[in-house]
Structure formats: C-alpha cells, structure tokens
Amino acid sequence: MFSAVTSALQSMWREVTADLQLPPALQPLVAAASSASTATSTSLVASPPPTHSPINREFLPTPYDVQHARLILVRGLGLPVELVDLVIDSAQYWPAVVGTTTAVGGVSLRSYHGSSSWFDACILRPLPPSTPRPPLAPDVAARIEQLLQRFGPPSSEPFPTFLVGNLLSHDPEDARDFLRSLGWDFVERVERVEVDGEVGERRGVLWKVQTNVVASTDYHVHEGEWRRSNEHYWGVLRGEADGEDRGCGDGLGFVDEMKVGDRFPGWVNDVDEVNVEIRYSV
C-alpha cells in the first residue's frame, strides 16, 4: 500500500511539473514532499546554528508570486494546504517590504562626532481614535505649515512620512509628543533586568541595531537578520576582520512585537546607506 502511494505521487509529480513551472526555490522541497522515501537506518546529528542568514536575497517574490506557487502546489499536485505552507516557509519563499536610504554626493546621511554613533530601530503603532492627543509646539506647527505649503497636504494616511527626517531630534523619546499628536506612538520594549539579585523590568522604545567601530574613519558593511524569539544572524560583508566585536544588537522582541499597520523608522548616525528589508508570509 505504501509503495503504491509513493509511486502514484512520484508519477503525479512528473506529470504536473512537465506543464507547471514552480519557482526554483520550491522545486527541491516539493519533490521531497511528494516522494516519500522508504525507511532507512540513518542517524541524525544536530548541526550547529548558522552564523549567517540562510535567506537567499537574489529574488524577492511578490505576494502574487507566493499565492500562485501555493495554487500550483494545492491544485496541481493535490498537496494539503498545511503541507504547502510548510514547504513555502521551509524555502523561505516570502515577499518583503524593502526601504533604502542612500547618501547623495558623497555626504553621509547624518554624522555626529564622538563615540555615541549608532543605528537604532523603533516601531510606531496607530493610537486608538479615542486617545487624547497633545497639542503641537508652536515651532513644530510652524514647520509643518511650511512643509505643507511646499509639498502639499499629506495623503489620507494619518502619518505624513515626509516630516520625520525634518522634525525628529537625536533622541526618539523627544519626538513622542509630536508623533502622538499625529495619531502614532512608540511600541515599548520591555526587558528583564537583574540588579543585585533583584529582578525587574526596564522599558524603552529603542532596539539597538548597530554601533560604529571606535576610532575608525572607514565605512564597514554589516548585514544582519532578526527573527522571532531572539533568533538572529549577523555578519560583516566588507571592511572588518572576522571575529571582531561587531557591536550589533540581538533584536530581542522586535519581530515578536510587529503587527499589521506598524511603521518602522530608524535613527541613523554617521551612516552612508541603510537598507531595511522586512519579510512576511502570506
């Protein structure tokens, strides 16, 4: 019985893939899912966790690409939806939201002298409609009026994004009242801390991404990835010897806090280019 089912699945796989083109990332996984191998006496050895992200960034599928691949697997191969979702996640065939900020004319995006140069991440979330909003400070209101005259009124979204770089100070906490007046607030990061045997909580709005290399005028290219439950990868692509202290954050709780509708601004110091890519499953 088992052999008959295996042969039928293998035959169906060959017939379907003759006409349907699956993305290359999914082909080996689907072939493995549709052809059950006979039991063999193998021993499983736990491998050490990777130090670099396993995601292939050569191709970013759109939500349509993912849904099309799911349709091929469900209707073309007759695979269960639950198995198809596992295949897609195992292949990390996920769409992404990508934002890139690049310096122009050889000038850094921002530059602050001293040792406190860093790149932090925050999460902005819409406030409930009934939440009272603080009034804008006169200088901020005047700056908004100037920008509205220059760029026109914002879209129907409650947060005019072109104001961020002009109005936020060096410390994101200083911008909290302004953002709340626009209907947004920071998501707080709660950390468990222990001091002299006493366990407590520390709250803030910043997740450390990367600090600068001390006493170095050269740019270094860093690449990192945060996942749920504090799983993270971090590597240096160029400009830094392997094994050095890279000054990166672990992103604890950042991805777990993300919800639909959130925004993800970053505060940048002495950075030439920043590329933020957020992958999500559909």
pTM greater than 0.75? no
* Shared domain check, 215 and 166: no
Q: What is the pLDDT of residue 116?
A: 42
- Indicate the pairing of strand 184-186 with strand 207-211: unpaired
- Are 254 and 224 in contact by the 8 Å Cβ rule? The answer is no
| Cβ burial 30-66 (10 Å sphere, 16+ → b, else e) | beebbeeeeeeeeeeeeeeeeeebeeeeeeebeeeeb
Q: What is the pLDDT of residue 168?
A: 40
* Shared domain check, 240 and 178: no
Any domain includes 199: no
Q: Average pLDDT of 94-115?
A: 57
Any domain includes 42: no
Q: What is the pLDDT of residues 130-181, one digit of tens each?
A: 666 666 667 767 766 766 666 565 544 444 333 333 334 456 666 677 777 7
* Shared domain check, 166 and 232: no
Helix (H) or strand (E) holding 15: helix 2-17
Residue ranges of alpha helices (H) inside 35-137 are 63-71, 81-90
Split at pLDDT 50, 70, 90, the class of 269 is very low
* Shared domain check, 109 and 73: no
Any domain includes 191: no
* Shared domain check, 213 and 166: no
Q: What is the number of structural domains in the chain?
A: 3
Any domain includes 240: yes
Residues of the domain holding 159: 124-186
Q: What is the pLDDT of residues 39-71, one digit of tens each?
A: 333 333 344 444 445 555 567 788 888 889 899
Q: What is the pLDDT of residue 97?
A: 73
Does pLDDT of 182 surpass 50?
yes
* Shared domain check, 171 and 252: no
Does pLDDT of 265 surpass 80?
no
Q: Does 235 or 84 have the greater pLDDT score?
A: 84
* Shared domain check, 162 and 110: no
Does pLDDT of 186 surpass 50?
yes
- Are 272 and 103 in contact by the 8 Å Cβ rule? The answer is yes
* Shared domain check, 112 and 88: no
